[in-house]
Structure 1
Amino acid sequence: MNYYHLGELIHKQAQEYTYKTALKYQPSGTKWHTMSWETFSAKIMKTAQAMAEIGIKPHDNIGVYSQNMEKYLMTDFGGYANRAVMVPMYATASPLQVKYITEDAKIQILFVGEQFQYNNAFKVQKESPVLQKLIIFDRSVVLNPEDRTSIYFDDFITTGDNSDSLAQVHSRLKQLKESDAATIIYTSGTTGEPKGVVLTHTNYIQAFRIHDKRLIRLSDKDLSMCFLPLTHVFEKTWTYYCLHRGIPVAINQDPSKIQTALKQVRPTLMSNVPRFWEKVYIGIRERIDNSTGIIKWLFDDCVKTGRKHNLMFKNEGKRPPLGNRIKFFLYQYTVFYLIKHIVGINRGNFFPVAGAPLSDTINEFMQCIDVHLIYGYGLSETTATVTCFPQDGFRIGTVGKVMPEVDVKIGENNEILVKGKTVMQGYYNKPEETRNAFTDDGYFKTGDAGYLNEDNTLVLTDRIKDMYKTSNGKYIAPQMIETRIMEDSYIDQVAVIGNERKFVSALIIPNYEALKAYADKHEIPYDSIPQLTANKHINDFIFGRIELLQAQFTSYEKIKRITVLPEPFTIQSGELTDTLKLRRKVILEKYADAIDKMYRE
């Protein structure tokens, strides 16, 4: 296997795959288009030349503030060809967030996606002493009447079509160094201001190497769906890895249309966060639970058969009994196929999952119905993956085996410590934070708690900074409790409360549509969502379902009181990060009165 600097990766692949499909994309909701490796390479060169023409130099920081698009990847790889550093920003980022990153990274050129990003970026540019020019991906964006500097991407890439720019890019391609910084990925900032994680080309190349050793059942015959934001280290590294393997990538531009996109594209691979699979699980589980008679028996028998075949035998390296093999074969091409076809994953090879805790119940269920999740754990600072499931011999209840050539040990307070070539260079412009992030012997301090089993599998218990200690001195892992409670089809989000409190409580965001259906069925009157969530019968119903889910918890871990909220936690309101993690400090402040009320005698 050859390993290339990101600046030359696509051009090398184009020599091998030429007219084969590199990308699938769907501009502005139209039909799906394909782009060959040869065309992709040529467009990247045009982008690189235009960057050189506009004055971008090696080691300059270039910002990208956009949803996923084919032009996003052209920009990334065009930047790498110039030895520039790419700085992604979430498409949902506010002007304040864009301003912070732009000024911290001294970004002069910012590529933006659609009207929302352009409007925010132009507002920042007007007040910024740093930001000089916006380059716009979407041709339909309407420019501000005051704008005299912005240019559309399609016009931009024609500006470098000359021999001088071409010579300059070729010269830079000959000087590529793996030690060069490739990206600065800003963390979500759940506990403070964002920090820019500096990842080098060495980090990415090493990530490719260790995944090649772990993921042995994929090939250039696969097709990956790019759904998570390319700002997210998980999606960025996974998409680059697929391109390294010659795997075509389908780019989903609108996250709200992923269900339609999956049915149109039917990918074999897709990286995702647990929330996606929670929703899939709830949808399938509801169909099973609402079935009766022979249909209900059939569904239950499918799951039982799949558990025996996939988990008890195949995953253990053993041949399933003949009767089980026959039943599994029949279900695989009937019931399992129909379930997966409805979702759009019937061609699935496997699906990497990370970014948050995944319920063991959901993980096991998906494996049983022949949806192979590769569950893992990692951070921006470790170029994503630290551990993940092997394709055989994985253990439910863990986040997988430590990756090859990655060194993990457990430090004080059960903190997970990591060392290896995938660990970041440091935090941009933050030498003190960088020093504090490492132990004296060079291990990165993840801030996560867990333990290693004898077979080098890792069990993740919680974020150390999220751990609660009740007033009775008991330690609570809120993420573990939240993950369990969100298995329920009536519950969308949970924020567990308990720090320095007498007992554990929770703020509950229900599935409003399911709750309204329940109220209608049981003739519970309501005129509005706030009235519905305040209803005592509704609160008792939700709490009863929570009681069933926490039966296995110790008494001090169990939620004793709840408040059902009439509005969800959102990125826009500040309660969630761009990666959909809870901003606990914001939630505690915003809902202080409701929380205090739960603890009054």
Structure 2
Amino acid sequence: MDNKLRQPLEMLYHWESAKAEQIYMTQPMGGDKVAEYTWRRAVGEARRMASYLKSLDLPAGSRIGIISKNCAQWIMSDWAIWMAGHVSVPLYPTLNADTVSYILEHSGCELLFVGKLDDWDMMKPGVPDSLRCVSYPLSPPNDYETWDDIIARYPPLEGNPPRDPEELATIVYTSGSTGRPKGVMLSFANMAFAADGGIRGLNVGPGERMLSYLPLSHVFERTFVELGSLYAGFQLFFAESLDTFVQDLQRARPTLFLSVPRLWVKFQHGVLQKVPKEKLDRLLKIPVLNKLIKKKVLKGLGLDKVKLAGSGSAPLSSDVLAWYRNLGLELLEGYGMSENFAYSHMNKPGRTRIGYVGEALPGVAVKISEQGEVLVKSPATMMGYYKDEEKTRETFTEDGFLKTGDKGELDEMGRLKLTGRIKEIFKTSKGKYIAPAPIENRLMSHGAIEMVCVSGANQTQPHALVMLGEEVRPKMADEAFRKSLEASFKDLISEVNKAVDPHEQLAFITVVSDEWSIENSFLTPTLKLKRNVVEDAYQSKVDEWYARRQPVIWQ
């Protein structure tokens, strides 16, 4: 481990003096109001909160929870917890009460910061009455002590209290698609290595602007936004809500923009609703209009200043990548896990290959096991799972490589292609193995499809469950529209089946009427499909669907 790397708190104290009066965070407060935090103000408020935490005389290394959507106080709480000698435990702002209760109890949280939340009434039963809570300015109504009151009463913590690089900094509970979440233990040294390597690898500097809106409770946002801004010293803006998202983007005019596939697809669908794909393609082929149209589309999305755009958490279809590239936005796919603080692989500008998640980031060793599993190792790799030595042992090879659970292959330039999850691969009744992810990516190229799940264990051929996009669903009552959509799905099956091996060819597509969401547990908090939940929901109907022998089934 490289202990010469500057640690997160060292970077914080550096910017507190080096950029004291520069704006660091811009927080929407509702309506047209925004709160602006200079580095001096942000670190000052964190110091005051750290004084309050110190006054509670908790044992060193106590776990302190944060449950909130992204906001300035989320980041300042994280710093305050570290300054006071404790460990932060982020909770997703969309968890149900049962999971909230499990994480608070499993981690042994001594205090909980409660922030901006859409469904606090659903979560609150999971918070014990005995647990001390502190409320943020944008919290739902409650009777907890408030952030503003505490920082008005307590003096700033003096000096620059350090933390040992090897100390536990945070426990991140993974949103596992099966079973209880596991607590990933990350040290300050893990975080420092990932943040420093990330900004160097992507050539990120202090002049950047980023919009923070993907959950900070997830490592993707924490590494590249919270820690990235701390290591590069760039400016952060927060999103107010989904309804104001485009205005939030236009306020921030980000130079760096990270998203997940589902949102990139939503952006694309939004554009294509206004300008049909054929018309846009035609306009982009006219030399005089080409630049003007590209600029107009990107400006409408609030992405016209973006010089580096990234996508992670799940694969993007090649069609979507090509569509953005045609607009002049080279989407760089990356790959990482909670267990390595999202620091593993990233495509580099000019070296991308569609279908690949890029090259290993500096300091990452990678190899493919005999079973085809991707194994990675770096100083960003976790300390282990909290209170679960057995699971920790199972997750590492004897020589210290992290077993990712993903199948993959490397090309001649060392770029990694993921070919499916080892546990997701299923066997047909003919004894053939099928990896669903590559087939799902092909289906996702259809503009009306928002989510897809390829299934079919113990059947002769696989099938696909499809959820339509939210802008398409209301049109389903129109018989003519539905017939035209059915015809396009038949064409899609034909195209996909020509491109895959015979045993992978789809028997049919079932279009479901349900919405798969976080709220009904079909999706994880990072919008990944819970495959087992989706499959279980429709299991009783599958045999009947196969018996129908129709290419498109409406459920």
Judge same fold: TM > 0.5, yes or no.
Answer: yes
Deviation, 1:542, is 3.1
Percent of pairs with identical residues: 30
> Residue 177 of structure 2 aligns to which amino acid in structure 1?
T
More helix by share: 1
Residue deviations 1:64-111 (CA, integer Å, cap 9, x gap):
011001111110111111221111111111110100100110012011
Using the alignment, how far apart are the partners of 1:290 and 1:518 within structure 2?
A: 21
Give 1:90's match in structure 2, choosing from 86, 89, 92. Answer: 92
Give 2:387's match in structure 1, choosing from 418, 429, 432. Answer: 429
C-alpha spacing 1:92/1:50, structure 2 compared with 1 (3 Å): same
Residue deviations 1:206-230 (CA, integer Å, cap 9, x gap):
11232243212x3211101111010
| Alpha-carbon RMSD | 2.4
> Residue 5 of structure 1 aligns to which amino acid in structure 2?
Q
Asked whether the equivalents of residues 522 and 530 of structure 2 are also in contact (C-alpha less than 8 Å), the reply is: yes
C-alpha spacing 1:569/1:121, structure 2 compared with 1 (3 Å): closer
2:146 matched to which residue of 1? Answer: 152
Deviates more, 1:242-251 or 1:31-40: 31-40
| Unaligned residue ranges in structure 2 (runs of 5+) | 549-555
Matches within 5 A, 1:131-530: 132-138=131-137, 141-143=140-142, 150-161=144-155, 166=157, 170=159, 173-216=160-203, 218-239=204-225, 240-285=227-272, 289=276, 292=279, 297-301=282-286, 331-332=290-291, 334-514=292-472, 516-517=474-475, 520=478, 523=480
Aligned length: 544
1:310 matched to which residue of 2? Answer: none
Give 2:515's match in structure 1, choosing from 563, 568, 588. Answer: 568
C-alpha spacing 1:392/1:213, structure 2 compared with 1 (3 Å): farther
Q: What is the DSSP-based 3-state SS (H/G/I as helix, E as strand, rest coil) of the residue aligned with 2:169? A: strand
1:586 matched to which residue of 2? Answer: 533
C-alpha spacing 1:87/1:342, structure 2 compared with 1 (3 Å): same
Asked whether the equivalents of residues 10 and 40 of structure 1 are also in contact (C-alpha less than 8 Å), the reply is: no
Residue deviations 1:369-420 (CA, integer Å, cap 9, x gap):
2113221111000110211012232222211011111100001321000111
Deviation, 1:569, is 0.6
Using the alignment, how far apart are the partners of 1:153 and 1:569 within structure 2?
A: 36
> Residue 447 of structure 2 aligns to which amino acid in structure 1?
S
Using the alignment, how far apart are the partners of 1:220 and 1:591 within structure 2?
A: 50
Using the alignment, how far apart are the partners of 2:82 and 2:286 within structure 1?
A: 52
C-alpha spacing 1:123/1:37, structure 2 compared with 1 (3 Å): same
Give 1:596's match in structure 2, choosing from 537, 543, 546. Answer: 543
Using the alignment, how far apart are the partners of 1:543 and 1:271 within structure 2?
A: 34
Deviation, 1:285, is 4.6
Q: What is the DSSP-based 3-state SS (H/G/I as helix, E as strand, rest coil) of the residue aligned with 2:525? A: coil
Asked whether the equivalents of residues 219 and 341 of structure 2 are also in contact (C-alpha less than 8 Å), the reply is: yes
Deviation, 1:539, is 4.4
Give 1:552's match in structure 2, choosing from 484, 487, 499. Answer: 499
Structure 2-normalised TM-score? Answer: 0.92
C-alpha spacing 1:296/1:189, structure 2 compared with 1 (3 Å): closer
Q: What is the DSSP-based 3-state SS (H/G/I as helix, E as strand, rest coil) of the residue aligned with 1:49? A: helix
Asked whether the equivalents of residues 97 and 124 of structure 2 are also in contact (C-alpha less than 8 Å), the reply is: no
> Residue 64 of structure 2 aligns to which amino acid in structure 1?
I
C-alpha spacing 1:519/1:547, structure 2 compared with 1 (3 Å): farther
Deviation, 1:596, is 2.8
Deviation, 1:135, is 1.0
Asked whether the equivalents of residues 485 and 549 of structure 1 are also in contact (C-alpha less than 8 Å), the reply is: yes
Asked whether the equivalents of residues 178 and 201 of structure 1 are also in contact (C-alpha less than 8 Å), the reply is: yes
Asked whether the equivalents of residues 67 and 254 of structure 1 are also in contact (C-alpha less than 8 Å), the reply is: no
Using the alignment, how far apart are the partners of 2:496 and 2:461 within structure 1?
A: 17
C-alpha spacing 1:152/1:547, structure 2 compared with 1 (3 Å): farther
C-alpha spacing 1:518/1:546, structure 2 compared with 1 (3 Å): farther
C-alpha spacing 1:212/1:236, structure 2 compared with 1 (3 Å): closer
Deviation, 1:175, is 4.3
Deviation, 1:549, is 4.7
Using the alignment, how far apart are the partners of 1:478 and 1:428 within structure 2?
A: 31
Q: What is the DSSP-based 3-state SS (H/G/I as helix, E as strand, rest coil) of the residue aligned with 1:599? A: helix
2:553 matched to which residue of 1? Answer: none
Structure 1-normalised TM-score? Answer: 0.85
Asked whether the equivalents of residues 50 and 81 of structure 2 are also in contact (C-alpha less than 8 Å), the reply is: yes
Using the alignment, how far apart are the partners of 2:170 and 2:313 within structure 1?
A: 19
